Each structure stands twice: as C-alpha cells, then as structure tokens.
A = this chain, B = another copy of it.
Amino acid sequence: MPTLKVTFDPHGRTVEAQTGESLLNIAARNGIEIPNLCGGQGVCGKCRVRITHGEVDFSADAMNLLDRKELREGFVLACRTRMKDEDVRVWVPVAADVKDQVLTEDAVSRYDPPTVLQKGRILPDTPYFRPLSQKILLELPEPSLADNISDLERIYRELRKKTPYTDARVDFACLRGLSASLREHGWRVTATLHWNDPNDPSIRSLEGGNTSSSNLGVAIDVGTTTVVAQLVDLRTGTILGVKGCHNRQAHFGADVISRMIFACTRDGMRTLTNSIIETIDSLVDSLLAEAHASTTSVTCFVVAGNTTMTHLLLGLEPCTIRLEPYIPTANRFPPVSAAELGLKSHPTALVHCLPCVSSYVGGDITAGVLACGMNDRAELSALIDVGTNGEIVIGNSEWLVCCSASAGPAFEGGGIKCGRRATTGAIHKVSISRERVSCQTIGGGKPSGICGSALIDTLAELFAEGIIDERGKFVRLDDPRLQVIEDVPEFILAPGSETATGEPVVITEDDISNLIKSKAAVLAAMKLLLDQLGMSFKDLHHVYVAGGFGSHLDVENAIMIGLLPDLPKRRIRFIGNSSLAGARSALLSTHAFTKARAIARQMTYYELSAHPEFMTEFVAALFLPHTQRRLFPTVKEKLAKGRNKA
C-alpha cells in the first residue's frame, strides 16, 4: 500500500497516512488538534475541516451534521472522512487556545499562604504552610570511635535538630548505596520527607550532597476535556507557572461515558492511561522549560479529577462506574509512585489523588469544597459545578450532602450549533434590546462562536425581551432577527459580515431547548437536595459557582433563566477553577490535604437515579425560570416591569 501525504493547514505540517485512515486519527496520531466532542463517533459534528486539495471518502451518514453551504465549501467531518489513494490538503479551523481559559480563572484558595500568586519571597512558616514534600539539607559530623552510630542514625540525629519529625519512617531504597554516597559527598546529604498525613512523614530519598536548592510540586486539575497543571516551588509556595491543554484522551471520546466505554474495550484502558500521562508529562515539561528547572526537581504531584479521570490516571478499571449501581474501585487512593505511573519526575516522587465521594462526585468537587471552605462555616452554603455533569454540594461545618445530575454539554458549547468553549474569539457577553444585539468576544476580535456565559445571557435577554416564551419557543417567527434554516428557527446574534468565519453566529430553537434541559437538571438537583433536608433556596447563605463560566457569567441572567436560585447577588460567588485551587492547597499544606480527606469522608452522596422525585423536579424546571414562578420573585418582578415598560 503506498504511503500517502496529508498536509494540515494553517500549521502547514505534512504527515504520512494510509488509504482508509480517518483524518481525525491521522491528526490525533500526529498531535494535531481537531476540536471534537464525541471522540470520533460522528455525532457531535464539531470536527469540521475543509478539504482544500485532493479527493477523500466522506461517509454519507454524517452529512446531515453539515449544512448545505458547508458542504458546498468543501467542509467534511474529520472523523467520517477517510483517505482514498491520493495526497490531500486539509484546513483545520484554529483550535481554541485553552490557556486563556484557565489562566484567568484560577481561584485563590484560603489555604494559600499569603504571598502565593505574589512575588517569590520566602514565606514565614505558617501553620498551614507545610508542603507534602520537603527537602532538608543535613551536614553530618564525621564519625569517630567516640561517635560511631550508624549512618542512618547520624542522619536521624541531625534531622531531629532541624525538625520536629523525630521518627520519620525511611524507605528501604534510601539505604542502598547510602554508605558510599555519604562519604563521596563529604557527609552532606539531602533528605526528602513526604507526608501522607501530618503526623506521619516518611523519608523517601537520601541524596548525597545538597539538592535542596530546588523542590517543585505540581497541582493538576484533570478534567475530562481540559487538563491544567500548576508548577509550584515547594520551598516558598510560589507559583512558577500554570498551563492547560486538552486532555489527549479526548481522541477516544469526549465525555466520561464514552471514555469508560472505550476503557473497557481491549487495551482501551492502557491507551487512556497512557494518554493522560502523556498529557500531564507534556504540560509539566513545558512548565519546567519555562521555569528553567529539571525533571528531577519535581518530587510531588497532587491531582484533582472526577472519579473516572482519577481511575483512568491510576490504571483502575472504570467499567463498573458506568453501569448501575455505579461502583468505583475506590474513592480514596493511597499515594502512588510517579515512576510507577510513568510520570516524568524525581524517581521517588509521589502522586496523591484527592479523594472522591462516589462514582459521579469526584476529587475535583472535594477540591472545590476545600477551596471555598464551605465545610468550615456554620451557615449553609452550596457549591455548584456546572459541566456535562452538574455536581452540587450543600452543607456547612456540621454536614455535607452532594449529588450529580447529568446536565449535558450545552453550557460547554456541546450540542449547540455555534457553541464554543470560553476561549479567544468566543462571544462571552450578550445584550439584546428592541433596537440591537450587542456582543463582546474574548480577546475583543471578531466572534467565531458563543460560549456558556453568553448562552445564558442570550437566553435571559430573549426571555426578558419576550422574544421567547417560558418554554423557550420563539414567540414571533416573523421577527426580522430570526432566520429559519432547515425548518428550525434561529436568532442571529452576529451576521456573517461581522464574524471571523464569515458565517453568522446564531442560537437555534433546538439550542435553547438543550440549554433549558441543562439548567433544569442542575436546578432540579439542587432543589431536591434542599427539599430532602427540609430547606429551601433562601436558606443558602453562600452559593459558590465553580468551573469554566468564571467571572464572565452574569448572575442576574443566570437567575433569570432559573440556572441559579433567586438570591441576593452578594450571596453568589464565582470561584473559577476550584479543582486546581484545591489541589494546590493540598500540595502546599498537609493540613489542607488532611482536610480534603475529611471532606470526602463527610460528604453524604445522594443518588438521584434512586429517587423518582427527581424526574418530577426536572420536568418542573423545564420552564423559564421555573414552573413555580414564586421561587423566582425578582424575575417575576422584572418581567412584570418589562411588560409594563412594553
């Protein structure tokens, strides 16, 4: 079979391919990112690319995901397009740079020492600042007949002078070669202590000479879509850098469910585990390069991820998570050697995964609770993480309950015609009045799509303006701002003449229906939890909103559509990537790490699928803002005013 060539633009990279290979696979194999949500199953329609030269085989069954214009212009779905017998040239829409999204939205955790995120000054030794790994330089007196204790006891004696850790366990591996190493290095030795709990340090490395000038840790938020890593100087608590990228597992399925299905095929798990390890390795590599630091400086990782991501990282089968009764192998994980996982780092580095609560409430949520501190307050708080699964935690310093609702990917742009993640070029703010529609894009340029915060704005504004009704249907199909494409009415937010792609950015009636289902799932879950506790929305003193929405989200609009409960604005706070913030807290503080375990242990998981009332609540929430309008008094008032105005 002859080797064919594929050139991907705008990168201009030419790679080799075989007849019959799909463009998505060819790109994945060569590390070229083509956005997609379904992992190549031909259902999300996001992997559009344009064939600019050459002939390809395009599977007819996915044609309906492209409109006539796209087909005319040579667009195809990369996953459904296979090489024939000639070289081709392919134009790939520029993949959003995930960095924008994560750098701006990392929350500061209350566990962070005061100077974190500030200048790299050495910190005073606060009770909270005790990283999970610590290097201590020991300068030992040479032995003599009068002082002939063993090498190891000599090390302990010096350690006792410098630290309160009098009886740290020592790993056997530290002893091999120790004798020669101490003598070669003139009785200077660097001990690396690791804490798995605040009272139980262990010595994992005894290196000859002084290696204590550098000790780095990595906090990682392993999301299903995005992986974000932060490099931290463990001597000072200073953040040296943060980087995000797409989870390379996405080549094998966009959401946790498709990953789990793939994991349970032959070799699937190994493939997924390797992918996430590669993803983390490449992030850490580039963080280290920017910090001019070496791989062996990294002695500790703390990972926060949902239960499935954590299982896949650790090489634990996730198959039983997917199927009733939804059982993970474990929710708390012993530390594991980074070398055993295959992560590049110091040979004795450890990986700690933050504990999960259940199959669908993971370490990312534990990290979120840790970061917002709701478990330390007497008043009632809620934490909401809106993603494909919407996770909700309610509680206070006495108790915590949580649940997970399948919200669908609408707020992340999935299943939305012009949906995009919150990255450069996405519309993130929309206001609609009788006269005009105004849009702001991330980065300020021409829009190429619309992200979650703007979808909420759009829904709220369309509803407030009376353009859609309570069920999300367009009231007047003759509105000049509407167009009907293939029988589906859609509202034009930006005409083709004003966009980066030349295509209009629109929201369709189907999009609106998907968004309403998503918000209904989240609200219904929160209401059901509160009902079970004999409480209601107004009892919530704090509502923390975690995740990609970030500061762009307009709280009043989120209330208007019934995504967030109708509470005074000051009670609602966006905490950004609290998964990363919580992981960093744990990395920098054994106290916080221990607290994370207590949080996970303390959280009572409420399995919605075991409660038929959830369906009733869900159906009741499929209205804007809700069937029971009395739950949203300020919305009711605003709408009344709007009507009066009109």
With beta carbons under 8 angstroms apart, the residue of B143, B152, B177, B315 that contacts A325 is: B143
Q: Chain B residues with Cβ under 8 A from A149's Cβ?
A: 327, 331
With beta carbons under 8 angstroms apart, the residue of B315, B330, B335, B610 that contacts A151 is: B330
Let me know if A334 and B148 touch, CB within 8 A.
no
With beta carbons under 8 angstroms apart, the residue of B143, B176, B331, B337 that contacts A150 is: B331
By beta carbon, the residue of chain B nearest A177 is B317
- Give residues of chain A (122-145) contacting chain B, Cβ–Cβ below 8 Å: 143-145
Q: How far is the CB of A34 from chain B (nearest CB, A)?
A: 32
Q: Chain B residues with Cβ under 8 A from A609's Cβ?
A: 145
A167 to B376, CA, bound (A): 24
- Contact residues of A: prevailing secondary structure: loop
Let me know if A329 and B179 touch, CB within 8 A.
yes
By beta carbon, the residue of chain B nearest A144 is B325
Q: Is A336 an interface residue (CB 8 A)?
A: yes
Q: Is A320 an interface residue (CB 8 A)?
A: yes
Q: Chain B residues with Cβ under 8 A from A320's Cβ?
A: 151, 179, 183
Q: Chain B residues with Cβ under 8 A from A330's Cβ?
A: 150-153, 175, 178
Q: Chain B residues with Cβ under 8 A from A150's Cβ?
A: 327-331, 358
Copies in the complex: 2
Interface string of A141-185 (1 = CB under 8 A from B): 001111111111100000000000000011110011111100100
Q: Is A240 an interface residue (CB 8 A)?
A: no
Q: Chain B residues with Cβ under 8 A from A176's Cβ?
A: 314-316
Q: Is A290 an interface residue (CB 8 A)?
A: no
Q: Is A333 an interface residue (CB 8 A)?
A: yes
Let me know if B179 and A334 touch, CB within 8 A.
no
Q: Chain B residues with Cβ under 8 A from A324's Cβ?
A: 145
Let me know if B175 and A329 touch, CB within 8 A.
yes
Let me know if A172 and B336 touch, CB within 8 A.
yes
- Give residues of chain A (287-336) contacting chain B, Cβ–Cβ below 8 Å: 314-317, 319-320, 324-336
Q: Chain B residues with Cβ under 8 A from A335's Cβ?
A: 172
Let me know if A333 and B145 touch, CB within 8 A.
no
Q: Chain B residues with Cβ under 8 A from A148's Cβ?
A: 325-327, 358-359, 607
| Chain A interface, number of residues (Cβ within 8 angstroms) | 48
Q: Chain B residues with Cβ under 8 A from A145's Cβ?
A: 324-326, 607, 609-610
With beta carbons under 8 angstroms apart, the residue of B144, B171, B331, B607 that contacts A153 is: B331
Q: Chain B residues with Cβ under 8 A from A607's Cβ?
A: 145, 148
Q: Chain B residues with Cβ under 8 A from A172's Cβ?
A: 314, 333-337, 340
Q: How far is the CB of A132 from chain B (nearest CB, A)?
A: 16
With beta carbons under 8 angstroms apart, the residue of B331, B336, B337 that contacts A152 is: B331
Known: A146-B610, A148-B607, A150-B328. A333 touches B179 (CB 8 A): no
Q: How far is the CB of A142 from chain B (nearest CB, A)?
A: 9
By beta carbon, the residue of chain B nearest A155 is B330
A315 to B319, CA, bound (A): 42
Q: Chain B residues with Cβ under 8 A from A340's Cβ?
A: 172
Q: How far is the CB of A135 from chain B (nearest CB, A)?
A: 20
Q: Chain B residues with Cβ under 8 A from A319's Cβ?
A: 179
A334 to B171, CA, bound (A): 6
A326 to B147, CA, bound (A): 10
Q: Chain B residues with Cβ under 8 A from A143's Cβ?
A: 325, 327
Let me know if A152 and B327 touch, CB within 8 A.
no
Q: How far is the CB of A573 from chain B (nearest CB, A)?
A: 31
A143 to B324, CA, bound (A): 9
Q: How far is the CB of A287 from chain B (nearest CB, A)?
A: 25
Let me know if A316 and B175 touch, CB within 8 A.
yes
Known: A172-B336, A334-B169. A179 touches B317 (CB 8 A): yes
- Which residue, A150, A152, A337, has most C-beta atoms of chain B within 10 A? A150
By beta carbon, the residue of chain B nearest A605 is B148
Q: How far is the CB of A153 from chain B (nearest CB, A)?
A: 6
A332 to B172, CA, bound (A): 10
Q: Chain B residues with Cβ under 8 A from A179's Cβ?
A: 316-317, 319-320, 327, 329
- Give residues of chain A (357-376) contacting chain B, Cβ–Cβ below 8 Å: 358-359
By beta carbon, the residue of chain B nearest A341 is B172
A620 to B320, CA, bound (A): 79
Q: How far is the CB of A606 from chain B (nearest CB, A)?
A: 11
By beta carbon, the residue of chain B nearest A314 is B175
Q: Chain B residues with Cβ under 8 A from A314's Cβ?
A: 172, 175-176
Q: Chain B residues with Cβ under 8 A from A328's Cβ?
A: 150-151
Q: Chain B residues with Cβ under 8 A from A315's Cβ?
A: 176
A107 to B151, CA, bound (A): 33
Q: Chain B residues with Cβ under 8 A from A334's Cβ?
A: 169-172, 175
Q: Chain B residues with Cβ under 8 A from A326's Cβ?
A: 145, 148
With beta carbons under 8 angstroms apart, the residue of B178, B317, B337 that contacts A329 is: B178
A607 to B148, CA, bound (A): 9
A329 to B183, CA, bound (A): 11
A150 to B358, CA, bound (A): 7
Interface string of A331-359 (1 = CB under 8 A from B): 11111110010000000000000000011
A421 to B331, CA, bound (A): 60
The 9 closest A-B pairs by CB, nearest first: A152-B330, A172-B336, A148-B325, A145-B325, A145-B610, A179-B317, A172-B334, A150-B331, A179-B329
Other than the given A143-B327, A148-B327, A176-B314, 8 more pairs (CB < 8 A) read: A145-B324, A145-B607, A150-B330, A151-B328, A153-B331, A172-B314, A179-B319, A179-B320
A sample of 29 inter-chain contacts (CB < 8 A) reads A143-B325, A145-B324, A145-B326, A148-B327, A148-B359, A150-B327, A150-B328, A150-B329, A150-B358, A151-B320, A151-B328, A151-B329, A151-B330, A152-B329, A152-B330, A153-B330, A153-B331, A171-B334, A172-B314, A172-B336, A172-B337, A172-B340, A175-B314, A175-B316, A175-B334, A177-B317, A178-B329, A179-B317, A180-B317
